[in-house]
Structure 1
Amino acid sequence: MTSDPSPHPLRIGFLFNHDELHQVAHTAPIISALQRRAPGAHVEVITSSDRQAEAVRQFLDPALPPPAFLSIQPNSGIRLVEKMLGNAVPLSRLNSLRQNAEFFRRFDALVVPETTTTFLKKNGHSDRPKLIYFPHGAGDRSIGFSPEIRLFDYVLLPGEKTRDRMLAEGVIRPDNHRIVGYPKFGAFANRPPVKLFDNDKPVVLYNPHFDPMLSSWFRFGEEILDYFASQKDYNLIFAPHVMLFQRKILASVEHRILRFRQRIDPRFAGLDHIHIDTGSDRSVDMTYTAAADIYLGDVSSQIYEYIQNPRPAIFLNSHGAEWQGNANYEHWTFGPVLDELAGLGAALDAVSPLSDAYRQAQTAAFAYSFDMKDGESPAQRAAAAIAEFMDLPQ
């Protein structure tokens, strides 16, 4: 009499299918943690570019056998059409999902940091693979709580704020999510700060978003660079969301508008008190949020990474938002909000040192947004949640 054969090991794929690298650090740290937690599972990495693959490798534990890396390079013809349309629509991303739908169904689960992958659930194939989602950031914009999240089988969350809003919006259920913390913090912890300027003047980080409706860049951007170019009291890091300068035409799915993105005047590039970075690794690894003394921005979720260490912040209401009491602008309670740039100089002078009221607002919001429990790291907690959801031997 023979025993039943052992069940086939489950295939867990970590999918990275975005044009840029800003999503990688949110789920890549979980890969090695899951390999340790569930060594019997087949943990694999799927990328759509060589840059993504190299970025993911930086988060892997060298003490472990590397996971298999698989590629879903986008169709060159689709990429050409996408470029002709100013990269306004993510045609390559959607085409990769469509072309590889059968390939993805060979996996038992895919772990993803963005919602485009729900395309796989919209084609009538809801059972395989299971889709496990970790949002790439802990910001307040309403798009972070969109109806598409309902299509995920399981959702990993950084803290109570995101959980409470998702539950209120009905996009998660009490039984299909787990708060695990923020793996990106663990991935970049304990790094020495980077000194970007040869002086000790205060450093301002201007970090506009790319959304053509909400971003301050389109209305105030060049005027802000002009202001800092003509003064000598502050250093400026201009490091917008990486997508702002990767597209010639910016599209807002949420607000249904298009805008052409302006170029940066070359005259700003040669100034020793202005550092411009429109998309390097430093734009996504918290180098600049750690280096800044003052944050200047609009709706980017990077403000929540910045307030890990409470500091002065100024916000730009370039689109006439009625933001008071609006959860989509909760971060605008962390510092003064300017409707016009005429008050920028006075705000910069007055915002430091950080007032007790703003410090309390930042501290409370950070605690609500990120579960920072001692003990297991966020990546380990996420791995445990995935293993339990997928019933993996641990």
Structure 2
Amino acid sequence: MKGPVAFLFLGETLLIPHLYPIVEALAADGDVAIDLWVATSVHEELLTRWSARLTGVRVRRAPGFRRLASGADGRNPPLPPKIPTLIRLLPYLLRARAVVCAEQTSLWLPRALPFLPPFVKTSHGVGSMSARDDPRRRAARVMLVPSERERGTYLARGFAPGRVIATGYVKAAFRQRSMATLPFATPKPVVLYAPHWQRHRSSWWHWGAETVRRIADDGRWNLIFAPHQRLVEGAPAVRQVMADLAGRPNVHTDIDGFAMVDGSYTAAADLYLGDTSSQVIEFLSRPRPCVFLNAGGVDWRTDPSYAQWSCGEVVDDPADLLAALARAPAIHPGFAAEQARFAADSLGDTTGAAPARAARVIRDLLDNPARSGNAAA
């Protein structure tokens, strides 16, 4: 068999849907040995269950592996420290023919030690605020991005064309969604509120608690309040807000469940409410009404980082929130074409073919390890 190819499942569960479809595609022919390195028993239980029938795939515990009481439901676990884990994993990675990751932290290894096997970095988010200038990205032998537009942003930064490859949106092929139906007592239009976790990009610190309470009290909508998993790191009070809303028949809250990262909520919602999270682009793979919260008072029309705000009404005053939600379906036709264009430009192919393209890139590295050049741009 060829390989082994090491896939790093060392971070939050939100990374899993961006990596696992590539594992399935690479394992399809049964001639590549694949090691799935996991940081916790949550990752281990999910990946072991899904990969049981895949040929050549084994789930391996990374140094510092954490065993937790339960993991079958995919709830986001506390992680062991990433850098010590990576350092202790080095002897195993040296035996690999290629390493695949979906986050920047793992790229410290090839940045510091360029003699390591080639690293393949796949995207775990899209949108105009992606940290494309992070120097760690230049340590990847190959960057897999969803679209030609995204690829162009790296070429403009001096990346060699052969090192940045547009595959389409890998997560579109993720099949292991955890929630088929939503737990609401009465059918109503469903609003998904998904604030970003970084303070300078988020509506949470200014308007978040008020936003969820206004919608819950109004009663015209069922609300999914599912912020980025990492919001609680900087805003621990979010758990108290969720506790205060517990038991409301028109509110479903989630901060660490697998449904918030596997595409369940973006598929089920009728209306997206947010700020700068890239989840909106996933939502717009099927155009629907959107409302954006300008809690920071930014001059977004002149800032390309806020390009996604052209896909819906932008609210500058929290007093206007409910009215904006109410009129969003009626004014949606005026945004639908822009939404479709923006989603296609950002996500590329969403037919499910992206993992097979990514697998071909990895196979090419195995067969021709020098073809994609070295870590230099």
Which TM class, normalised by the smaller chain length?
0.7 to 0.9
Q: Which aligned pairs between 1:1-394 and structure 2 lie closer than 5 A?
A: 9-18=2-11, 20-37=12-29, 39-57=30-48, 59-60=50-51, 63-65=53-55, 67-74=57-64, 92-123=81-112, 125-170=113-158, 172-188=159-175, 193-245=180-232, 247=233, 250=234, 261-265=237-241, 266-372=243-349, 377-391=353-367
Tell me: CA distance 1:40–1:127, structure 2 relative to 1, closer, same or farther (3 Å): farther
Which amino acid letter does the alignment assign opposite residue 36 of structure 1?
A
Which amino acid letter does the alignment assign opposite residue 100 of structure 1?
L
Q: Could you say which structure has the higher helix fraction?
A: 2
Q: What is the alpha-carbon root mean square deviation over aligned residues?
A: 2.6
- Kindly indicate whether the alpha-carbon contact (under 8 Å) linking 1:46 and 1:72 is maintained by their aligned counterparts in 2: yes
Percent identity for Structure 1 against Structure 2: 30
Tell me: CA distance 1:35–1:114, structure 2 relative to 1, closer, same or farther (3 Å): same
Note the residue ranges of structure 2 that are not aligned, 5 or more in a row.
67-78, 370-377
Note the residue ranges of structure 1 that are not aligned, 5 or more in a row.
1-7, 77-89, 251-258
TM-score by structure 1 length? Answer: 0.83
Measured in 1, the distance between the counterparts of 2:146 and 2:258 equals 22
Q: Which moved more, 1:179-188 or 1:267-276?
A: 179-188
Deviations 1:114-162 (A, max 9, x none): 1111111233x21222100101022221424533211110111111221
Measured in 1, the distance between the counterparts of 2:178 and 2:262 equals 11
- Kindly indicate whether the alpha-carbon contact (under 8 Å) linking 2:281 and 2:347 is maintained by their aligned counterparts in 1: no
Measured in 1, the distance between the counterparts of 2:340 and 2:149 equals 13
Q: Which moved more, 1:158-167 or 1:63-72?
A: 63-72
TM-score by structure 2 length? Answer: 0.87
Which amino acid letter does the alignment assign opposite residue 390 of structure 1?
L
Measured in 1, the distance between the counterparts of 2:299 and 2:120 equals 35
- Kindly indicate whether the alpha-carbon contact (under 8 Å) linking 1:244 and 1:261 is maintained by their aligned counterparts in 2: no
- Kindly indicate whether the alpha-carbon contact (under 8 Å) linking 1:294 and 1:312 is maintained by their aligned counterparts in 2: yes
- Kindly indicate whether the alpha-carbon contact (under 8 Å) linking 1:238 and 1:277 is maintained by their aligned counterparts in 2: yes
Measured in 1, the distance between the counterparts of 2:298 and 2:367 equals 46
Deviation at 1:189, TM superposition (A): 8.8
Tell me: CA distance 1:383–1:298, structure 2 relative to 1, closer, same or farther (3 Å): same
- Kindly indicate whether the alpha-carbon contact (under 8 Å) linking 1:24 and 1:56 is maintained by their aligned counterparts in 2: no
Deviation at 1:263, TM superposition (A): 3.9
- Kindly indicate whether the alpha-carbon contact (under 8 Å) linking 2:2 and 2:366 is maintained by their aligned counterparts in 1: no
Deviations 1:294-353 (A, max 9, x none): 110011111011011111101112223222142321111110111221110110111113
Measured in 1, the distance between the counterparts of 2:305 and 2:7 equals 29
Q: Which moved more, 1:184-193 or 1:264-273?
A: 184-193
Tell me: CA distance 1:271–1:144, structure 2 relative to 1, closer, same or farther (3 Å): farther
